[in-house]
Amino acid sequence: MPTSSPSETLLIALGGNALIRKGQAGTIREQFANLKIPTRQIARLSRRNRIIITHGNGPQVGNLLLQQECCDAVPRLPLEILVAQTQGQIGYMIESTLDTALMELGVHSRQPFITVISYVVVNEKDPAFENPTKPIGPVLTEAQAADSPFPTRLTAKGYRRVVASPRPVTVVEKREIRKLIDMGFIVICCGGGGIPVTREGRSFNGVDAVIDKDLVSAVLAKEIRADRFIIATDVPGAAIHFNTPQQIDLQAVTVEEMETHLRDGHFPPGTMQPKIEAALAFVRQGGKEAVITSLDAIEDAVRGCAGTRITAE
């Protein structure tokens, strides 16, 4: 249990690269090793704060989809089921790495944490269903992309398969998640952006899509009233004129300034744009601060000395 009364509720969103780094094949050994970097920091932060962890699943869900398509001996599973599978697999990996990190810190009583399978409601008329933007699975060569029967796009990492990414409306389990946080649990939820569902009366139907984990994290942060929102990825922060000789790394930025950079087209869809939109949404709705930072600087970002920090003024 935390040593002192928790000061703040932190929502930490881990990028897909928390598990698989650029250029890695993504073996389970590599994924467990990579997870030590954020989880050691989260373990230390959990002594003084309430913690919610969300995470991406782009590489993992794309790999599962590819595995479906490589085998005709068993029925293929739709994307919604694969998203649910990644919530289980990644939730387990975060829990077990976090448990080790807490033991390394000398916390011998088992810290209560829990992974919540999460549904996220989307609008069935969302135009995103007609225009796939979310990159998933491995990086393809230009020739593989040209031959692919599925839509592909050139992303910062190279060519990748893309699927529909509708906007998240609400997290179905928000009340349960809030209760678990209030009880002192570290909660891992909304994995892979959540299982995308549409509402039909009192029931939910899964749909073929992958919701952006940054956008759903902003929705969740509002619904459970988080104080601080940390988006951990593979760059030190957001930049304008990214990847050009004029690149400027952004440090402390107001909502108004960031809105201008967003309008000026500095952040591409599918990668940095959703992070910026999520950060802006969080601060506009009353959150203290949103930070975009690298996975090895989560603690520094919480202390206010790393990353791109977005505040109301």
Active-site annotation holder among 15, 56, 58, 134:
134
CB of 197 to ligand ADP, least distance (A): 22
Q: Is 134 a catalytic residue?
A: yes
Binding mask 229-268 for ligand ADP (x = CB under 6 A): ----xxx--xx--x-----------------------xxx
Active-site annotation holder among 58, 213, 237, 307:
213
- Residue 259 CB burial class (10 angstroms; 0-12, 13-18, ≥19): middle
CB of 294 to ligand ADP, least distance (A): 9
| Two structure tokens written together for 150 | 């599925």
Residue with the CB atom nearest ligand ADP in the bound state: 15
User: Per CB under 6 A, does 99 bind ligand ADP?
Assistant: no
Active-site annotation holder among 58, 192, 194, 275:
275
User: Per CB under 6 A, does 16 bind ligand ADP?
Assistant: yes
Distance CA 116, CA 191 (A): 9
Q: Is 213 a catalytic residue?
A: yes
Q: How many CB atoms lie within 10 A of CB 149?
A: 7
Q: Is 17 a catalytic residue?
A: yes
User: Per CB under 6 A, does 56 bind ligand ADP?
Assistant: yes
Near ligand ADP by CB under 6 A: residue from 9, 10, 11, 17: 17
Residues found near ligand ADP in the complex (CB under 6 A): 15-17, 56, 156, 233-235, 238-239, 242, 266-268, 271-272
The residues annotated as belonging to the active site are 16-17, 134, 213, 275
